[in-house]
């Protein structure tokens, strides 16, 4: 149940991002659900590999290169998922930041309301 709630929180994060970030567009609810699932899979399998491969650059930039990795994955989703559009790298960078912050806030609210502690 917790996984499904988190999945919907990330989907809602994509909707909020599309609403407030120019250049990011989500067609509908099912697209957002698919985006949340693929974003989770990328975060679980692809992102750690990219972080390890770019570790020297990440260390030199004091961890800021992680934002570039997230933006690249966000932009990649825009090219792969039909119904999700990202206008450019700037929109991808801002979109990935807004989406991450929004979904984190929603997770915190849901955990607080549900009384769950991790």
Q: How is residue 44 annotated by DSSP?
A: I
Cβ-based neighbour number of residue 34 at 10 Å: 19
Q: What is the pTM of this model?
A: 0.87
Measured CA to CA, the distance from residue 22 to residue 42 in angstroms comes to: 24
Measured CA to CA, the distance from residue 95 to residue 76 in angstroms comes to: 12
Task: Enumerate the domain spans of the chain.
Answer: 2-114
CB-based contact 21:94 (threshold 8 Å): yes
Residue length, the chain?
Answer: 118
- pLDDT tens digits, residue range 59-71? 999 999 999 999 9
- pLDDT tens digits, residue range 5-32? 888 889 989 988 999 999 999 999 899 9
Q: How is residue 21 annotated by DSSP?
A: S
């Amino acid at each position: 149940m917790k996984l499904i709630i988190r999945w919907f929180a990330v989907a809602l994060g994509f909707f909020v991002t599309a609403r407030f970030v120019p250049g990011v567009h989500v067609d509908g609810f099912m697209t957002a659900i698919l985006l949340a699932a693929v974003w989770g899979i990328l975060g679980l399998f692809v992102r750690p590999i990219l972080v390890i491969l770019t570790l020297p650059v990440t260390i030199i930039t004091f961890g800021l290169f992680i934002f570039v990795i997230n933006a690249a994955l966000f932009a990649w989703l825009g090219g792969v998922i039909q119904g999700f559009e990202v206008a450019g790298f700037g929109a991808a960078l801002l979109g990935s930041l807004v989406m991450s912050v929004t979904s984190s806030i929603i997770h915190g609210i849901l955990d607080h309301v549900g009384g769950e502690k991790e």
